[in-house]
Chain A
Amino acid sequence: RAALRCRYLLCEIVSEDPRCRQCIDERAVGAAAKDAVARTHGDYGLACCSISFTVKYLNAYTGIVLLRCRKDFYRLLWSALPFVTYLENRNQRYSCFFNTLHVGGTIRTCQKFLVQYNRKQLLLLLHNCTSEGKQLLHSYILKGALLHMDFVLCCMMHVFHFS
């Protein structure tokens, strides 16, 4: 008996508009992905990808999204993601694009990849930080506020925008 196999697509939502972040929620992201699949692969594609389709994880600050779909149809979803051009929430539209980082068979493999990816991002951001930003970051560390990897990344991006 074959178990129900799924594929998890780890994506990053990239946008020039900083207000796009407030638009990122499960409903908007799911709707944008499904709409792209409907346009690219028609009724058949939409129906195939909608089986066990969910947004499993979402981080509005870093723009990381984990989408799940059936193993047989993950290519339909994967090929449709570049056709997402905007996210819509409460009649507000913000243009953005989806950058697929990793495709995994389980949530755990995607999580492992995300930790490695976040580490690399931290190094890059630290490299681009000005001295003022680094001071701010040091103050955060001293306060003991930086414990969780995601939170570290959020703070880094916050600091980066200020510097």
Chain B
Amino acid sequence: MAEPGPAPAASDRLVLKNGSGHHYVKLRLEFQDGGMRLNAAHFKQLILSALKELHGEVGAALPVDVLTYEEKTLSAILRVPSSGLVKLWSALTLLGSYQNRKCAFRVIQTSPFLLALSGNSRELLLD
């Protein structure tokens, strides 16, 4: 005689429509040979050229904002409308070189909320 299993829990599905409308992307630009310096304008130009190559004029017209940029570590936080996240991320992934030097964008974190990018539980130090 098999025991009747626990009654299946009634589940509700909650769908949260993202109200913020923007996605924030924390990323870093890595060069294969290292030692390359870009200022903020060049950095933005690189992102736009990647978008233009993969997604054309429509992609380059995407309102991407560079919120913070650190020239030493070549890391930045970008803001992009949620509808354009896929275009931006795919364009960054497929960018291979800058001025004939091999490079790659490493997306560290992305979130619809900027506060979520302030901390990274992987690098959390517990004293």
Contacts and interface: CB of A to CB of B under 8 A. Distances in A.
On whether the two chains bind one another, the answer is yes
A42 B51 CA distance: 8
Interface residues of B, number: 10
B126 interface: no
B55 to A, nearest CB: 4
Nearest to A45: B56
A40 B57 CA distance: 5
Contacts, number: 30
B53 interface: yes
A43 to B, nearest CB: 5
A39 B54 contact: no
B1 interface: no
Nearest to B60: A42
Contacts of B51: 42
Contacts of B56: 37-42, 44-45
Interface of B: 51-59, 90
9 contacts: A39-B56, A39-B57, A41-B58, A41-B59, A42-B51, A42-B54, A42-B55, A44-B56, A45-B55
